[in-house]
Amino acid sequence: MPAASLNSPESSPEGAPQTSLPESVAAAENAAVELGDLRTRVANLSRLIDVTVLVSSSLNLQEVMNRVMAMAKEMMDAEAASIMLWNGELECLEFEMTVGEVGVDSLKTIRIEKGQGIAGTVAESGEPMLVADVTKDDRFDSKADEATGFVTKSILAAPLIVHDGIVGVSEVLNHKAGRPFTNHDLELFATFCRQVAVAVENARLHEKEMKQSLLDQQMKMAAEIQRSFLPAELPDDEAKRFEVSAFTRSTQDVGGDLYACEVLPDGRIGLALGDVSGKGVPAALYMARVVSEFRMMCSKGDPPSEVLTALNAALARGKMRGMFVTFVYGILDPATGELELANAGQLPPVLARASGSAQWMGSASGPPLGMIPTTVYQPEKIKLEPFDTLLYYSDGIVEAQDTSGEQYDPHLLADVSEAGTGARRVLSHVLESVEAFSRGASQADDMTLVSISWEGGG
């Protein structure tokens, strides 16, 4: 019998067939490819874990974007990577960060709407996208290339989504090997971007909280500065010839209401209340200017009408973008009970007589300060009787609302007969009336009350 061939089944142990040498080489090559692919997947998984660590390791938005984009470029072996964040106010994507051969400065003016270009399409659909060859895809928008000189060949784009809301879109451009990106690349990049979205959103929320915290601190400082412009204490007359009382409360940390009480060189008492148009920081800044200029102008003891005329001209020259202030200023002579008043658009003060009657002081009222530079204000004079009280109030008092939205009746201000006499009692009575009316409702406007009563000659 002829000897069996080396490759015949009969020559193998127990009859097992043998594999040819070329087939063994092919199997080894396949195994090597599979091993290489496995190593790549393990490496990519490691990078995805790195992103997960990054989510909790930094809350600085710029640092997060720098690191994740550098990681995206390296992981995808790309020439460039970019991240665009969604601007909810403008309803568009804006370039925030690029790494590689593309500079972000030249892209800052480009805004991408939903459905526009590859990134806009991804933002609209919420699905990742692979463009193997941009020359064969009509959706490709070349604006970024034209702005930078970069030549895009292949793109991976994935949405950044948190809680079903679009945060942005990230892209990697051109594989360094010169080949198009693959579906495997897309799957990896989309997974990567899901982690990036969390990192970016966490950083944005932290940045927003930090800005709000800083703003809150600045507002508290502004409120302290604003309070420094109000009288630290009201004058106290040992001879018991007059009494002064005041109350103010803003709807925000800072507001536009103001009051001032000045003891003039001849011993008379100047009392003023103002209400700046608007609320918040702009009103507070304007209020500070009004108080400063008023104190300077009233320090010589000029009549209220002359002080308001000069203050109006100064404020009108300042041209504070249409801002103005309603203002009332009166001077009481505690020796005689004579009171002189001038009013620039403020609600008419209430004169509460000791006898229990009340009247509004409204015969001399001109336009608010800062509106018409040539305005000349007129005086109003009255002789107080012992224990008469003059009450100033801002519009936040008469515009106070109850829980049904009904406003406080200003005629109730005249009903002060139950208050007794004296500035403190009259002011407290009105404040209690307003707060009882509006209890349970939010304060709609700044509220200020100032009162002065004449107790009789000393």
Record the tokens describing residue 291, joined without a space: 């108080």
In sign, the C-alpha dihedral spanning 91, 144, 205, 282 is negative
Residue 199: HSE in the Cβ half-sphere, 13 Å Cα cutoff = 28
Q: Report which of 435, 442, 446 is spatially closest to residue 408, judged by C-alpha positions.
A: 435
Strand partners, 170: 83, 158
**DSSP state letters, 71-103:** HHHHHTTEEEEEEEEEETTTTEEEEEEEEES--
Residue 281 near residue 251, CB atoms below 8 Å: no
Q: What is residue 10's predicted lDDT score, i.e. its pLDDT? A: 47
- CA distances to 223, 257, 363, 369 from 254, in Å: 5, 9, 32, 21
In the block, residue with structure tokens 């990567």? 192
**Alpha-carbon torsion, ordered 396, 401, 407, 408, to 10 deg:** -70
pLDDT in tens, the chain (458 residues): 444 444 444 445 555 555 566 666 666 666 665 665 656 655 665 565 566 665 555 667 778 788 888 888 888 899 999 999 999 899 999 998 888 866 667 788 899 999 999 999 999 999 999 999 999 999 999 999 988 889 999 999 999 998 888 999 999 999 999 999 999 889 889 988 888 888 888 887 877 887 777 777 766 776 776 677 778 788 887 778 899 999 998 876 667 788 999 999 999 999 999 998 877 777 778 888 899 899 999 999 999 999 999 999 999 887 666 789 999 999 999 999 999 999 999 999 999 888 888 888 887 689 999 999 999 999 999 999 999 999 999 988 888 888 888 888 777 776 766 667 789 988 998 898 888 888 888 877 788 999 999 987 65
Domain 26-207 has CATH 3.30.450.40: yes
Residue 3 DSSP class: P
Q: What is residue 155's predicted lDDT score, i.e. its pLDDT? A: 95
Question: Which overall architecture, per CATH, does domain 229-454 show?
Answer: 4-Layer Sandwich (3.60)
Sequence-distant (≥ 6) Cβ neighbours of residue 392 within 8 angstroms:
259, 271, 272, 273, 328, 346, 349, 448, 449, 450, 451
Domain boundaries, the chain: 26-207, 229-454
Alpha helices by DSSP H, listed for 361-441, are: 395-398, 423-438
